Amino acid sequence: MGKKVLNFGSLNYDYVYQVDHIMRPGETQTSKGMETFCGGKGLNQSVALAKAGCHVYHAGAVGEEGQELLECLKDNGVDTSFVRRLDGKSGHTIIQVDRDAQNCIMLYAGANRRQERAHVDSVLEQFGDGDYLLLQNEINELAYMIDRAYERGMKVVLNPSPFDAYLKECDMSKVAVFMMNEIEGREITGEEDPDKILKAMAELYPN
């Protein structure tokens, strides 16, 4: 039997506004267009894995209006058995995209930051040695998830983005695979050059 992949990750509605320029403090501007997408680092990676042929289980939480997020996962072949429905709002972003394709993003965590340890434990009980846990830093209880998954012999895969204080609570030595760009690499290692970042990561986390 093949190893299972569990993605404990965010589920967001992305509200994307086309603007002439990124808003300045105190400014009112008429948008040239607006679109809504299902997104979040968690949802996006689950969909990508499923499209690549992987049987992926998504765990997390949506709010009262989160049905479309669940349908998006299901339509793309993602197992949603471990996604909870909570009172209140789902996570969402408000994204400005200007005429030069530069963007500005405001994130509201919503249900994504309402993970509970009892739920984490009940989900992880369904997985074990050699299975994969994929994480991104858009949910709470990240450090707890890493510790419990590591104890169960799971391979922890971490996208340390967005990089903030929550990640400092995590035992990075328990991570088997990092998926990151030069921004996160710089934050973790203090290095700027990509080759130096890779070298520093290998020294910090040889496993």
Residue-level pLDDT at 1: 46
Helix, coil or strand: residue 205: coil
Written as six digits, the tokens of 76 are: 């793309």
Contact 105, 129 (CB under 8 A): no
Residue-level pLDDT at 87: 96
Task: Tell me the per-residue pLDDT of 120-178, one tens digit each, with 9 for 90 and over.
Answer: 999 999 999 999 999 999 999 999 999 999 999 999 999 999 898 889 899 999 999 99
Cα–Cα distance for residue pair 113/115, rounded to 1 Å: 6
Query: Which residue did the predictor score with more confidence, 3 or 174?
Result: 174
Among the listed residues 48, 51, 28, the one whose alpha carbon sits nearest the alpha carbon of residue 157: 48
In terms of DSSP bridges, do strands 91-97 and 103-108 run parallel, antiparallel, or are they unpaired? antiparallel
pLDDT averaged over every residue in the chain: 95
Task: Tell me the per-residue pLDDT of 58-77, one tens digit each, with 9 for 90 and over.
Answer: 999 999 999 999 999 999 99
Q: Please give the DSSP secondary-structure letter assigned to residue 137.
A: T
pTM: 0.90
**pLDDT at 207 > cutoff 90:** no
Among the listed residues 169, 177, 183, the one whose alpha carbon sits nearest the alpha carbon of residue 202: 177
Per-residue pLDDT averaged across 115-119, rounded? 97
**pLDDT at 2 > cutoff 70:** no
Name every residue whose Cβ is closer than 8 Å to that of residue 23 and which is 6 or more positions away in sequence.
Answer: 29, 96, 104
**What b/e readout covers 29-63, taking b as 16+ CB neighbours within 10 angstroms?**
eeeeeeeeebbbbbbbbbbebbeeebebbbbbbbb
**pLDDT at 24 > cutoff 90:** yes
Q: CA 107, 111, 113 angle in degrees (round to 5)?
A: 70
Written as six digits, the tokens of 80 are: 């949603």
